[in-house]
A = this chain, B = another copy of it.
Amino acid sequence: MRKGERRKRELLDIAYRMFISRGYENTSIDDIIDEAGIAKGTYYYYFESKEQTLEAVIEMMIENEIEAAISILDSNIPVLQKIVGITASIRPAPEELPIEGALMRPENIIMHQKIKQRLVEKAVPLLSKVVEEGIEQGVFSCDNIPERVRMMLILSNETFDEGSFTDRDVDVFIDITEKLLGAQKHSMDFIRHLIVAPVPSGIENTEIDIEIGG
């Protein structure tokens, strides 16, 4: 049993790495067992199906992220930094992402989507705690905390995941987050230094500036 557990964990790691690097759809059971050096029957001894494996892989991933988030939550750093730290830790680490940041490659969308969804689910209550903490300390001031936290997470995910955001995106994100949580203007400016815009502002917009209507 102990041995079996270890084996399963091992397989999970392999599946994880392969799903991440080549996409779920592009990874066949054969790929996995080849890499693991086991027989096909063995794989099916440990997993019911490929989909169940994906589920398990995601669960494992989530647990890791959440663990990190909780340790931040329980630490003694200031509330504002907790928010940022947890939000960051909740996002799949860059090195875990498919190469070339090709999250949009169809073969990766499904897994990516599932992960994001689960992470938001898990993170909302955690961050809500932090916001409540902040309200007690007078740093934040707002109602409907979980809903606000959820929107903040969505914005963060959708804006920064693709890796093609600009300084302006960061500016707006900071502004809106402060207002979302009722924080002091500029109190979250420090985020700016933590996020490096890979694309200088103004480039993206040029081509979008189309003349419309009359």
Contact = CB atoms under 8 A, between A and B. Distances in A.
Interface residues of A, number: 40
A158 B169 CA distance: 18
A173 to B, nearest CB: 7
B179 A74 contact: no
Contact of A109 (B110, B166, B209, B214): B110
Q: Is the interface of A mostly helix, strand, loop or mixed?
A: helix
Interface stretch (A9-17, A92-100, A123-131): A123-131
9 contacts: A70-B213, A74-B214, A109-B110, A125-B208, A125-B209, A126-B212, A151-B172, A154-B158, A176-B180
A85 interface: no
Contacts of A109: 109-110, 113
Interface in A53-79: 70, 73-74
Interchain residue pairs A-B with the least CB separation, the first 3: A179-B179, A74-B213, A147-B172
